[in-house]
Amino acid sequence: MNKRLLPLLVALGCTAAQSQAQSPQLETVVDALKTPWAVAFLPGGLLLVTEREGQMRTAQPGGKPSAPIQGVPAVDAVGQGGLLDVITDSDFARNRTLYFCYAEPGENKTNGTALARAKLSADNKRLTDVKVIFSQQPKMESRLHFGCRIAETPDGKLFLSLGDRYKGMDKAQTLDSHVGKIVRVGKDGSVPADNPYVKTAGALPEIWSYGHRNSQGLTLDAQGKLWQHEHGPQGGDELNLIAPKFNYGWPVITYGENYGGGRIGEGLAAKTGMEQPVVKWVPSIAPAGLVRLKSAKYGPAWQNSFFIGSLKFGHVERVKLDADNRPAEQEKLFPDAGRVRDVREGPDGLLYLVLEGHGRVVRVKPTTP
Ligand SMILES: [Ca+2]
């Protein structure tokens, strides 16, 4: 296609019609879940699912969810909080290790996002060696904006997204808290010596980037680049390419406005020293779950595309960038999916969606050529 024509077609929504020729279908792999939040993958095709109220379960595709796995710590299942993300260690088959994050209860009705490491017993029925390796500071009395997505790096570290707790938005711009940040820690919770703020007086050493609002999407692509999306306020959801030490602007710059109208702060959308999003959504889609598809199972158009769940409209957004990281293709898939909380690429190269409202994990069937 003519490269100059493509942005126009995107603007007119024509690329959506073009790719609908593929019409991929969803198939349910697990149902009867209660408010599922994340899905991870165990050997032998087994799925590992979190439910926000505090349960972790396994299930074979097509089978029923297991009884709750024992040993999950107490979570603060209030508002948007609870048991949230889970991933398996890249060497899980050997070390049985997984990482999960959740709303950790504190004193006097406070809570905050915590990251824990555990081993899953050989019979998949209980967690052992559970250790909290990171706790967001300070804890706050809030039911909102926990962030809480985890990504493992090839060199054995963990990224974790941390929300602004709604009432702590101004802390997103200061380095003396974990509010509105992405942090990087070792798998034992240690601080990597090359984290960007380890030598900055007054800064918390786990901080990787700052100026974030509420991020429920975090992923490393095939090139090792870290991508994140975050909820804007009313309008202004963002997809960001994350680099260490950078300031992503919240709440000083935003493309959104306050709920019910009215500017935020000085009403700025850009400022020197603050990063611009790669993609922005006005109105908001309420993004949750993020993957940049590595596999070729769905053909070249989808490979290397981002897939992003929408809580608000109940679809999956596909975004493909050009060589300069500008959106070249953008379309809405599965418009009747209902609230999409997580999007993952399985070890089989297939896309898996967590449908919160339907209590299901579904798989996107590749179209047969
Ligand atoms: Ca921003």
- Ligand 1 centroid – CA 234 distance (Å): 13
145 catalytic? Reply is: yes
pTM: 0.93
- Ligand 1 centroid – CA 182 distance (Å): 13
Q: Are 291 and 344 in contact (CB under 8 A)?
A: yes
Cα–Cα nearest to 162, from 226, 210, 221, 110: 210
Which of 145, 212, 229, 231 does the annotation list as catalytic?
A: 145
CA angle 338–276–16, rounded 5-degree value: 40
Question: Would you state the structure tokens that stand for residue 162, as one six-digit string?
Answer: 């941390």
CATH of domain 29-365: 2.120.10.30
Quickly list DSSP for 304-357. Answer: T-EEEEETTT--EEEEEE-TTS-EEEEEEE-TT---EEEEEE-TTS-EEEEETT
Residues 327-366 pLDDT 10s:
999 999 999 999 999 999 999 999 999 999 999 999 999 9
Q: Are 256 and 264 in contact (CB under 8 A)?
A: yes
Residues 232-290 pLDDT 10s:
999 999 999 999 999 999 999 999 988 888 888 888 999 999 999 999 999 999 999 99
- Ligand 1 centroid – CA 142 distance (Å): 22
Q: Are 216 and 149 in contact (CB under 8 A)?
A: yes
User: Does the structure show a pLDDT above 80 at 99?
Assistant: yes
Residues 65-84 pLDDT 10s:
999 999 999 999 999 999 99
Query: Torsion angle, CA of 333/338/339/343, rounded to 10 degrees?
Result: -40
